[in-house]
Chain A
Amino acid sequence: MADLLHYREDGPHEEPAVTLDAFLDQSNATAVRLESDEDARALLPYLDRLTLIEISFPTFKDGRGYSAARILREAGYIGELRAQGDVLVDQIPLMRRCGFDSFHPQAEVDRKALAAALERQEYVYQRAADARQPVWKLRHG
């Protein structure tokens, strides 16, 4: 497993995340892992006490995690939101926009390529889970 990439003020959450089933059963855990076919909304009652939600990307083509991330952010989750698995450099900028703020890719990430990818688009067309202003906002104030 490659390095953890982390874009938060606080440090990365260290304890291992438990499965959704385990979390819903026990649960004083503060870190949970969602598989790509699990419903992020199952976590909505517990967002206050979660500090890490890890979302799995079994293949880069499986885009369900992008929706899961936005749903969690839209519901007010402010803890660490981590993308884990087949996460590619060129996907990280989109994932950032959906609210992910840490990444645990299974393959080593080319840091230079990543830095360039994150810098590349100065403007975006949509409002999403990040703080970026869409161009219509820049156009109309």
Chain B
Amino acid sequence: MYRYDQYDQSIVDARVEEFRDQVARRLSGALTEDQFKPLRLMNGLYLQLHAYMLRVAVPYGTLNGRQMRMLASIARKYDRGYGHFTTRQNIQFNWIELADTPDILADLSTVEMHAIQTSGNCIRNISSDQFAGAAADEVTDPRPWAELLRQWSSFHPEFTYLPRKFKFAVIASDEDRAAMRLHDIGIRIVERDGEHGARIFAGGGMGRTPMVSHEIKEFVPLSDLLPYLEACLRVYNRYGRRDNMYKARIKILVNDLGAEEYARQVEEEFAGLKALDLDPPKAEFDRISAYFAPPAFETSLSDDIDRRDPDFAVWLDQNVRTHKQPGYAIATISLKPVGGIPGDATAEQMEVMAALAERYSFDELRVTHSQNVVLPHVRKADLYAVWQTLREAGLAEANLDLISDIIACPGLDYCSLANARSIPVAQKIATRFADQKRQKELGELKLKISGCINACGHHHAGHIGILGVDRKGTENYQLLLGGSGAEDVSLAKITGPGFDEDGIVDAIEKVTDLYLEQRTEGERFVDTYRRIGMPAFKEAIYG
């Protein structure tokens, strides 16, 4: 994976000192909260309901054992012994003291980590495929491209005060594991005549006006990529709406102009920028790529796995995926134990994951947008040992992509914008469907919960989505069906009137029962929904 050189390190260190100075000015009263707010937001520090929350960037979701250990240490030293992995492949600490934040950032910088641009109206952490470098279906590892974008976007002088936040995702596979089409700009690396280039999609996003992005360019060669993206951002920075924060994302601009007209304006801007020769040479991309060279996989390993332990076999079938290298596998560690908080991990669990990565996965871990952690390169022969260790740490839930593998935003338990709690609803659903056989029977079912219309829990992209609303002062939950953030991207639709906390769990049972009754061979829940349509489901719920 990527390692900082003296320049990267110097930039992050300077940022720590800058924030130390800003916090000191705030604590001394030289800065008011109003003046301080934009500064702390640029460093991922939010004021929540009960305390400060610090969001730490995990660039494209990749980290090593040492970095994970540092996150554990921060959880223990400055928080309440745990952290929360987010849908942007980052980690949040929910109980932070303002005065500690400069020290936390300093600790992070010792392991090449930071909180730069994890909030604010700027280009956020670049997200990517958690199986990058391991997936059998990728044309190349997308992370060198993501790292190129990370550097380009860090402290970009022109794009730090955009109309609104800006999210990139980069993938390089047929399967979309990163919800690429629901990003402000989604990039898919493709091959053309033996050359890799970027297929560009713009204007996707969730929030209160969810939209699927539009393809604006079929192929941008590496040598044009940064000026092209610079053009995309410049058109947005100049013409994105600034009068209404709910209409300020690029999706609204692309929708208002039409994707073709937006693309035309980008081309025009690009022609000017390209001529200026502002972008790095190929040698820089090659330098970055070298860090992502495949690890030293052993060859001629056996593909046999001893399945005699039935509990292990269940986990193996559910949480382990095919690796491109024979003899290896990709193992997903579920952070969704039944009754737990989706995405939370204790310091001890982080240390267990770090140790497993160091011993069994070439010292690599990945955070997924569905709030789990991946060991990307495990020898098949080691899977049983890995599973045993995970089981002892309470990390061996065999529910990847099943109904209890829920994405949930922090909701009213933490978030000052929330209308309703998300976590207790997730816990109730997981508990109702706890039986492994029942979950397995239901098959792939992506359930996503947001505590308000801002959609941090991606409810629009859930096969089943839940949206918390405020109904005359009480928490109420709307049910949505038919969304997907994957390659079959679609937006979920609301079924009808909402429910209370128990009612929503019952309603989910009704729709899953209908699915079991109606499905044909090989159909997932979302396929059946798409085939038979909303009315049948409405009838089952309200009829």
Which residues does chain A contribute within 8 Å of B276, judged by CB atoms?
74
Q: How far does the Cβ of A1 sit from chain B's closest Cβ, in whole Å? A: 18
Q: Which of B148-156, B438-446, B459-467 contacts A (4 or more CB under 8 A)?
A: B148-156
Interface of A is mostly: helix
Quick check: B121 and A140 within 8 Å, CB to CB? no
A66 to B35, CA, bound (A): 20
Quick check: A90 and B157 within 8 Å, CB to CB? no
Which residues does chain B contribute within 8 Å of A124, judged by CB atoms?
11, 155, 157
In chain A, what residue has the closest Cβ to B8? A135
Which residues does chain B contribute within 8 Å of A91, judged by CB atoms?
161
Q: Does B296 belong to the interface (CB within 8 Å)?
A: no
Q: How far does the Cβ of B224 sit from chain A's closest Cβ, in whole Å? A: 15
> Which of these, A61, A66, A95, A139, contacts B5 with CB under 8 Å?
A139
Q: Which of B279-287, B380-388, B410-418 contacts A (4 or more CB under 8 A)?
A: B279-287
Quick check: A126 and B278 within 8 Å, CB to CB? yes
Quick check: B281 and A136 within 8 Å, CB to CB? yes
| Contacts A63-B162, A74-B272, A123-B10; A88 near B18 (Cβ below 8 A) | no
Which residues does chain B contribute within 8 Å of A139, judged by CB atoms?
5, 7, 284, 287
Q: Does A78 belong to the interface (CB within 8 Å)?
A: no
Proximity string of chain B (228-260) to chain A, C-beta cutoff 8 Å, 1 when within and 0 when not: 000000100110001000000000000000000
Quick check: B237 and A63 within 8 Å, CB to CB? yes
Quick check: A88 and B155 within 8 Å, CB to CB? no
Which residues does chain A contribute within 8 Å of B237, judged by CB atoms?
63-64, 66-67
Q: How far does the Cβ of A132 sit from chain B's closest Cβ, in whole Å? A: 10
Q: Does B489 belong to the interface (CB within 8 Å)?
A: no
> Which of these, B11, B22, B152, B161, contacts A66 with CB under 8 Å?
B161
| Residue count of chain A within 8 Å CB distance of chain B | 37
Q: Which of A3-11, A15-23, A24-32, A112-120 contacts B (4 or more CB under 8 A)?
A: A112-120
**B residues 378-433 with Cβ under 8 Å of A?**
none
Quick check: B238 and A121 within 8 Å, CB to CB? no
A19 to B472, CA, bound (A): 50
A140 to B279, CA, bound (A): 13
A122 to B9, CA, bound (A): 11
Quick check: B157 and A94 within 8 Å, CB to CB? yes
Q: How far does the Cβ of A84 sit from chain B's closest Cβ, in whole Å? A: 16
Quick check: B155 and A117 within 8 Å, CB to CB? no
Quick check: A121 and B38 within 8 Å, CB to CB? no
A63, A91, A95: residue with the most chain B Cβ atoms closer than 10 Å: A63
Quick check: A123 and B283 within 8 Å, CB to CB? no
Proximity string of chain A (36-67) to chain B, C-beta cutoff 8 Å, 1 when within and 0 when not: 00000000000000000000000011111011
Q: Does B261 belong to the interface (CB within 8 Å)?
A: no
Which residues does chain A contribute within 8 Å of B152, judged by CB atoms?
125-126
A138 to B162, CA, bound (A): 29
**A residues 97-129 with Cβ under 8 Å of B?**
97-98, 110, 113, 116-117, 120-128
- Please give the residue numbers on chain B whose beta carbons come within 8 Å of chain A beta carbons, in ascending order: 5, 7-8, 10-11, 14-15, 17-18, 21-22, 25, 30, 35, 38-39, 121, 151-152, 154-163, 234, 237-238, 242, 272-273, 276, 278-281, 283-284, 287
Those 4 A-B pairs whose CB atoms lie nearest each other, nearest first: A63-B161, A97-B157, A136-B280, A135-B7
Known: A94-B155, A134-B280, A140-B283. 6 other contacts (CB 8 A): A62-B161, A67-B237, A120-B18, A121-B155, A125-B152, A135-B11
